[in-house]
Structure 1
Amino acid sequence: MQLSYWEYKTWFSQVDFTVIGSGIVGLNCAFQLREKYPNSKILVLEKGSLPQGASTKNAGFACFGSISEVLSDLKTHSKDEVVQLVQKRWQGIQRLRKLLGDGAIGFELHGGHELFDKGNTDFFQQCLDSVDELNHLLEPVFGTKPFVCTKNTFGFGQIQDHYITHQFEGQLDTGMMMHALIQKCLASEIPILNGIEVMDIIETGTGATIATKDFEFNSRKVFVATNGFATKLLKSAPIQPARAQVLITEPIKNLKIKGTFHFDEGFYYFRNIDDRILFGGGRNLDFKTEETVEFGQTEIIQSKLEELLEHMILPGQKPKIAQRWSGIMGVGPQKTPIVKQLSNSICCGVRLGGMGVALGSLVGAELASLAD
């Protein structure tokens, strides 16, 4: 494709800031840039028809880490690092709610509940024994003790009689959230150009040349916010793509389940939405295959999701599946997001570690701050 004079002049000349990726991080970054530099020329590039990756494909959990996830993180992170991680997630959700409003994102606070397999009493007891310690560790973040023990009031099968509940976890409508972010950027005269895939970014000393599939242009600063796809542009970044498979049922009559639910150290998760069950996870069944940037489903994971749906989540029922999809997350050896300046003109905000809903608005703001 060759650009016309009009196309180049209108969109691709004298660009101050180019954001690559129109997900949660990218749009928050662009909006913060507009707030800070009201007269700048800002451009957001997106390779897909809609935001790719996980921003419009996640489960809509406003979560900060179930008790088993926090215990697992303490094996690879210091206590201070874990507290900082949870703090960032908490701050990110509060920032998102303040920016868009609870009504615009469909935010509801019903708590996040971790379920434990009936046959693994030792693991449940280990987590139960850790409640006081982790409450003490995380109370400064939330202002009170986040974890409480609650009864299995929703009738799930094959699990312990009690959940360990995080009182401050909520849920939101991913589509509403992204629509609100897009509208906020458009209202701030930030164009979002879809169907433009960036192949390379070349530092020039006075800016950067952005090479797309069809044309090139220059930008004073470039912000990479492509998360799980980041290694295409950031070759040496410690990021691994991680596919997450999801299904959703047809509407279920008299569905009483409310809240977000996790089990198996967060590798499985489900919730209610529009009288349906949205259920995802199972990446731990086949880590290697799920280290991919290709969307799709696999038999081993989808079969397990259906089995758990019928025997654990809705015992005695066989709900019909309405849709299946997948999203691509960005993970790595550490869960701390990578927000850094890579050269004079190129910055990145990536590796959200499966917590993009919680972290995205904060990481986007931190990324924008690197424009200074």
Structure 2
Amino acid sequence: MQLSYWELKNWFTNVDFTIVGSGIVGLHCALSLREKYPRAKVLILEKGILPQGASTKNAGFACFGSISEIINDLKNHTEEEVIQLIQKRVEGLKLLRNRLGDGVIDFKPYGGYELFLDKDENFYKECIQKTPFINDILRPLFKTDVFLKEVNRFNFEEIFDYLIFNPFEGQIDSGNMMQALLKEAIANDILILNQQNVTSFNDLNDKVEVVTNETPFITNKLLFATNGFAAELTKNELQPARAQVLITKPIENLHIKGTFHLDEGYYYFRNIGNRVLFGGGRNLDFEGETTTELTQTKIIQDKLEQLLKTVILPNVPFEIEHRWSGIMGVGNQKKPIVKQMSNNVYCGVRLGGMGVAIGSLIGKELAELI
């Protein structure tokens, strides 16, 4: 399609900052740049009709890591690195809530729970045994114990009697969050163009040539905020990780309220009113789920339904209303990649499945690289 003079002039000429990706990171980056540069021309390019990765497709967990996830992270990272990761997640959630307000994002401080299947006895014992140690290392951040034993009062079956409760976890409405961020961006004169796929770019030392499916154009600075979709263009050490999700129809007298983790965080569920949202299962097929295809697979969807029937909603009739997938960005390290790639090109990617928690902070840090 041939763009008109007006289109080229207003959207693709004299661009100061071009951000690729209109998710949590991209929008917070744009808003931070607007605060620093009130008169700059800020353009966001998004390849989907809505943010394509995980920002509008996540489960809406305001969390910073379950007990088993933290224990597992300590096997692959230093204690200091794990504490810094958790601190970033806490700061990111605070930034998100302060920017938009708890009422807007429908924040509900119900707390979070981790449950343990009967078959995972050694894993359960390890988490119970190490809970005091984890509480000790997190006490400087939270000023109190974070993880507490609590009896199973949700009628879950095929699990150990005790859950591990975290009172600092909550729920948000991801759709409300993203709508509010998009409205704020537009109110701050930030241009957002959807269905714009960046195919290549070239840093020319004093500016960047960007090529999209629509047109080539010049920008002073180019910033990638595409997380799971970033590997090909940014050549960073990350890979996509698909997360499959389903949601039930309304369930009468639903007894579940909160956010819940299962099997080292590979499964997660929550109530949305009187429905259950349930996602995960990537560990059933790591290779197959290393993809950017927004589809579902039988092996994972069947497992989600089986766990719903036997563990989460035993003896409770339910129907699945809808299924979808989102794309995360993961790697061998949990630390996000926020760096300058060349003279005028930057990236903030690899959020490790914690986009809600750290996306706002990573967007701010990305803007601060300029």
Question: Is the shorter-chain TM-score for this pair beyond 0.5, marking a shared fold?
Answer: yes
Structure 1, gaps ≥5 residues long: none
Give the whole-Å Cα distance in 1 for the aligned partners of 2:167 and 2:135. Answer: 11
Greater mean deviation of Cα atoms: 83-92 or 211-220: 211-220
Give the whole-Å Cα distance in 1 for the aligned partners of 2:233 and 2:141. Answer: 35
Deviations 1:155-180 (A, max 9, x none): 11111111111120111000000000
Give the whole-Å Cα distance in 2 for the aligned partners of 1:322 and 1:157. Answer: 23
Match of 1:349?
Answer: 348
Give the whole-Å Cα distance in 2 for the aligned partners of 1:137 and 1:190. Answer: 41
Match of 2:66?
Answer: 66
Please tell me whether residue 293 in structure 1 is matched to residue 292 in structure 2: yes
Report how far residue 32 of structure 1 moved: 0.5
Give the whole-Å Cα distance in 1 for the aligned partners of 2:40 and 2:215. Answer: 22
Give the whole-Å Cα distance in 2 for the aligned partners of 1:318 and 1:203. Answer: 57
Match of 2:367?
Answer: 368
Match of 2:179?
Answer: 179
Report how far residue 40 of structure 1 moved: 0.5
Deviations 1:54-85 (A, max 9, x none): 00000000111111000100111000000000
Specify the SS of the correspondent of 1:306. helix
Give the whole-Å Cα distance in 2 for the aligned partners of 1:90 and 1:355. Answer: 11
Match of 1:225?
Answer: 225
Please tell me whether residue 94 in structure 1 is matched to residue 98 in structure 2: no
| RMSD (CA atoms) | 0.8
Q: Give the total of aligned pairs.
A: 370
TM-score, normalised with respect to structure 2: 0.99
Specify the SS of the correspondent of 1:256. coil
Give the whole-Å Cα distance in 2 for the aligned partners of 1:119 and 1:49. Answer: 43
Specify the SS of the correspondent of 1:323. strand
Corresponding letter in the other structure for 1:40: A
Deviations 1:330-372 (A, max 9, x none): 000001000000011000000000000001000000000011x
Corresponding letter in the other structure for 1:268: Y
Match of 2:81?
Answer: 81
Corresponding letter in the other structure for 1:241: P
Structure 2, gaps ≥5 residues long: none
Match of 1:313?
Answer: 312
Report how far residue 143 of structure 1 moved: 2.2
Specify the SS of the correspondent of 1:357. helix
The alignment-based identity, stated in percent, is 58
Report how far residue 119 of structure 1 moved: 2.5
Specify the SS of the correspondent of 1:184. helix
Give the whole-Å Cα distance in 1 for the aligned partners of 2:207 and 2:33. Answer: 17
Report how far residue 123 of structure 1 moved: 1.5
Give the whole-Å Cα distance in 2 for the aligned partners of 1:214 and 1:357. Answer: 30
Deviations 1:88-117 (A, max 9, x none): 000000000000000110101111100001
Match of 1:251?
Answer: 250
Match of 2:113?
Answer: 113
Give the whole-Å Cα distance in 2 for the aligned partners of 1:311 and 1:295. Answer: 27
Pairs within 5 Å for 1:120-135 = 120-135=120-135
Give the whole-Å Cα distance in 2 for the aligned partners of 1:6 and 1:143. Answer: 57
Match of 2:46?
Answer: 46
Specify the SS of the correspondent of 1:32. helix
Give the whole-Å Cα distance in 2 for the aligned partners of 1:182 and 1:143. Answer: 35
Corresponding letter in the other structure for 1:162: Y
Give the whole-Å Cα distance in 2 for the aligned partners of 1:3 and 1:35. Answer: 31
Specify the SS of the correspondent of 1:233. helix
Report how far residue 213 of structure 1 moved: 1.3
Match of 2:137?
Answer: 137
Greater mean deviation of Cα atoms: 289-298 or 113-122: 113-122
